Each structure stands twice: as C-alpha cells, then as structure tokens.
Amino acid sequence: MARIVVALGGNALVRPGQPPTWEEAVRQVRATVGPLAELVADGHELIVTHGNGPQVGALLRQNELAEREVPPRPMHVLVAETQGQVGFLISEELMAALATRRLPRTVATVISRVEVARRDPAFRKPTKPVGRYYTDSEARLLRKRESWELAYDGARGGWRRLVPSPKPVAWLEEGAVKRILASRGEEAPILIVGGGGGVPVVSRGRGIYEGVDAVVDKDRTAALIASRLGADRLAIVTDVPAVAVGFRKPWERWLGEVRLDELRSHLARGEFADGSMAPKVEAAIAFVSSGGKGAVICHIPNLSRALEGGAGTRLVPD
C-alpha cells in the first residue's frame, strides 16, 4: 500500500466552456472521483488537495455585485470559503463512489492554513491573475479606489487583478493531520487538505497568525504537504494527458518516464509556461528532490495507469 497525495486542478469542478453552475460542478466532480475511489479500492492511502481558481473568481464577482449591501470579504477568507465549498462537494461524491464499491468510508475536509514569509518578494510584485476581466475605465477606477495591480490580457481584451503568490513555508495543520493518519485502519477518514493552496497567513510571533491577501500556488502546497506527510507518490491532475516539450509546436513531444536532471533541464530552458505547466513541473521536482519515490502529471481518466507506469509523465529520482 502506498500513501498517495492527489492534487486536483480547480477546473476539475468547472470545465472551460461549461456553465459555472452548481449542477455542472456536481457532474464534473462525479466524473472525477471514480479514479480516486479506485485507488482506495486498490488498498492505497489517499490524501486529496485541490485548486480553487474558478471558485474564488465566482466569490470575487459576488463581492463586487453585493458590495452595496454586504461588505466584501478579504481574499484569504474567500480561500477558506472555497476550501469548505469544494471539500464538501468532493467528500459527498467520493463517499458515494466508495459506497457503490462497498467501501464505506468517511471523507473529511481539514481547513488548512499555510504560512508564508511576510517579506516574500511576491508581495512587492503581484503576478497571480484572479477574478474577471475589466474594461479600461473599470481598471482605472479600481487602481485609484482599491490600489489594485492590474495587467492587460491582449488575447481577452481586458484587465485582470494581480495578487501576490508567495511560496508556502509551513503547513499549520500538519500535526493534526498526522495524528489523524496515525489511526490508520479501515475506520480512518480519507482527508481533503490544503485546498486552493491553503489559506495564506503570516506569523505575528508566539504562535499567532493573521491572514494576508494572496494566493498560494496549489501545486507548490501539494508538494509541501506530500513531503511533510512522507507520501510515497504525488499525482498532479491536470487537463492534458502529460507534460510536453515543444507544446503545440511541430516538434511537440510528450514525456513519459523522465528523471530529475532531464526535467530540470527542460524547465531551465523555458519549455513550460508560467502559471500553467511550470508550477506543476516545479512541484513534482520539489517533491522527488525531497525524497519522494515519484510524481506523476496526468489527466484524471489515466490516474491509475499513470501511477502504475503506463500513462502520463512519470518523474523518478536520478
């Protein structure tokens, strides 16, 4: 039996081009949890983490529409809200999938905080786009009224808010989760942790923390969690079948089994886009470099095959 951390992308709940309704989210998650249930059926110890990009974007829009009647909530509070929202949905559907396989298990969500450094350079240069696209006039108003950083996206013809994306330093619920996992056995719950990269907090000293408006990359947090829990494997689920070099170019090549030095070399040459595949590759490298037995990057239908060595990109130690 292996301990496997599976990191689901936020788009596992809302697919591009589909209506962002709750009913659509249920359909998407229902299709996603089957491969997770199969890992449990095969005897593996499963820990799930997930993204929250579309969900935070929806809450930001709700903030805007309701601000005359309901005071807007800070970004870190929205991350906590989406941990509960997405965790609830995954737990409901995963428990149902396990029940149909006659594997009744509890699936529990742990609202997770991630400490970041107060002086992380990301706070001086926000780079993570969040929320909807704004017109030129809206962008000017928001810069003046909210002091937001915004960037223009020529492909979409609009401006998006940029927030800091600091690196995770520590996972504050680590000890509690380790105690839960130590119970093991058939009654031990399957845990959903670190959703949306975790709620970003900074230390005020003496064990006291406060939230900050930022978004921690969920793949970086997944690598940290997998390492701290001593996981055997890290599986990063995305919307493409594997990692490619020369992506969408005539010389495109999909990577199967790859070793650390080779993947580091591709990353250093700029083969992977920032904000897309690069963070996933960096997370896989970080996990295997810290002692993990291997990491896979794949899409959800091929999860089991990827972990068995037959699909996806499989990163192995040198």
**Which residues contact residue 141 at a Cβ distance below 8 angstroms, ignoring those fewer than 6 apart?**
none
How confident is the prediction along the chain (318 residues), in pLDDT tens digits per residue? Answer: 899 999 998 666 677 677 778 888 899 999 999 999 999 999 999 999 999 988 898 899 999 999 899 999 999 999 999 999 999 999 999 999 999 999 989 999 999 999 999 999 999 999 889 989 999 999 999 999 889 999 998 777 899 999 999 999 999 999 999 999 987 666 678 999 999 999 999 999 999 999 999 999 999 999 999 999 999 999 999 988 999 998 888 888 999 999 999 999 999 999 998 878 999 999 999 999 999 999 999 999 999 999 999 999 999 998
Nearest to 112, CA basis, from 65, 64, 79, 74: 79
What is the reported pLDDT for 247? 87
* Amino acid in the structure at residue 278: A
Dihedral, CA of residue 91, residue 299, residue 54 and residue 115, to nearest 10: 70
What is the reported pLDDT for 276? 82
Give pairs for 302-309: CB < 8 Å, separation 24+. 302/241, 303/6, 303/35, 303/36, 303/38, 303/39, 303/235, 303/237, 304/35, 304/38, 304/39, 304/42, 306/235, 307/4, 307/39, 307/233, 307/235, 309/257
Q: Which residues make beta-bridge pairs with 170?
A: 115
What is the reported pLDDT for 262? 95
Residue 279 near residue 220, CB atoms below 8 Å: yes
Is 284 buried (19+), middle (13-18) or exposed (0-12) by CB count in 10 A?
A: buried
Which active-site residues does the annotation give? 10-11, 128, 218, 280
Q: Using only C-alpha atoms, what is the Rg of the chain?
A: 19
242 C-beta neighbours (distance < 10 Å), count: 19
Q: Look up the pTM and report it.
A: 0.94
From residue 148, alpha-carbon distances to 63, 139, 154, 160 in Å are: 15, 9, 19, 10
Burial 118-140 (b: 16+ CB within 10 A, else e): eebebbeebebbbbebbeeeebe
Nearest to 130, CA basis, from 82, 91, 84: 82
